[in-house]
Amino acid sequence: MPLCCYSTNEDISFYADEINKYAQESIRPVTLKQLIQFGQPPLSTETLLDSARYTKSELPVRLARRVKAFQNLPFIVGTNPYIMNVYNLYCNSFDVIRNFPEIKDEETDRKFTQLLKQTVNLHAENIPTLARGFQECKKYMSNEAIKRFLDDLIRARIGIRLIGEQHLALHDRLDPNFIGIIDTRTHPGNLIRTRAAFVQNLCEAHYGSFPEIRITGQTDTRFAYVPVHLEYIIAEILKNACRATVELSQKVGRKDYPAIEVTISRGKSSIGIRVRDQGGGISAKDLPSVFEYSYTTAKQESYSRNVLGSVTTMTMQAGFGGPIAGLGYGLPLARLYAAYFGGSMNLVSLNDHGCDVFVKLKQIDEMLDEVEI
């Protein structure tokens, strides 16, 4: 329902009252264990209805909190068209989900699932849209204030999408290894190969060539995880590594690109992934800024138009917000995704040589009762 449908002061006042009421309610966190229990086979009609009811009752509260966060931005920032667009999406999503009828049978669940799918798709480009908005407004807010707002929004967004997409996935169970969006046998080796080929194709389309990506270590490892999160993390790291390797090689006349090395290791309850490149590294003065929003080494004039920027964004945004080449949101987002389930992401740079990026991911099945969404 568009915001402009509230044409009278009474309508606007009522709408604001509803937002305030829901935003003051307590979030009902759900653990990974509870999400998985929703998806344990055999899936009964009542299980799907319980999942739908939880989703319908919980999302308006979380969406209302995001709306309030937007309303607390400085006025001139909130009126930016990009930021206003995302704000309106949150308002409208809150309204349509809040007003959806009680879910009491398969038919209402089916209609709710359709609505939820539409809502998820509408929010697919929120992060790149906000990135453009905050680039235009950065003189009106401090970097720290922008970081606090975006960190909170992105963490909340991950939780909202996990709840929504988990329910959607329960209606489309095609792989027995999946429980909703959780792959109980995620194969990082295969996933990295797929993302590596994708990034190499993008690199070739832009530069005419690409470096080799070697995958070593415990490549047959499997663990329980949300693969779409790992796909994003790996793609963003590899994209940066490929770009740095090719651009440095072109700059210094290095004809043979050194390979990018990806090493997989497995501990008792964690998975480690190290990505090593020889792309020149990051200078000491820039290194503290590497995980800040809007920090980028890409040239704004050309990079925002090239294939690595536009095609990657269009292809990978759906579902989890894709890397935004040249806008500086890739690494901060990747680190938030890694940290969401208790993992970490760190970067070590040797200036004039290259970078090592270390990703540590906890196995979801080892922390089912620990992580609340």
**pLDDT, tens digit, for every residue of 266-312?**
998 899 999 999 999 999 888 888 888 877 666 554 433 343 443 33
Are 29 and 131 in the same domain? yes
Burial of 299 (0-12, 13-18, 19+ CB in 10 A): exposed
Identify whether 320 is part of a domain: yes
Would residue 228 count as lying in a domain? Answer: yes
Q: Tell me, yes or no, whether 131 lies in a domain.
A: yes
Residue 93's domain is classified under what CATH number?
1.20.140.20
Work out the pLDDT band at 371, boundaries 50, 70, 90: low
pLDDT of residue 27: 87
Residue with the bigger pLDDT between 294 and 316: it is 294
Q: How far apart are CA 337 and CA 154, in angstroms?
A: 9
Task: For residue 279, give its domain range.
Answer: 182-366
Amino acid at 48: L
Q: What is the mean pLDDT of residues 63-87?
A: 95
Residue 81 has a CB neighbour count (10 Å cut-off) of 10
**Whether residue 107 is found in the same domain as residue 245:** no
Name the average pLDDT for the chain. Answer: 84
Lowest-pLDDT choice from 146-155, 229-238, 316-325, 334-343: 316-325
- In the chain, how many domains are there? 2
Spatial distance between the Cα atoms of 326 and 300, rounded to a whole number of angstroms: 6
The count of C-alpha atoms lying within 13 angstroms of the C-alpha of 264, restricted to the half-sphere facing its C-beta, is 19
| 255 and 199 share one domain | yes
pLDDT at 1: 35
The reply to whether 372 falls in a domain is no
Same domain, 173 and 198: no
- Give the domain-ending residue among 144, 178, 212: 178
Q: Is 166 helix (H, G, I), strand (E, B) or coil?
A: helix
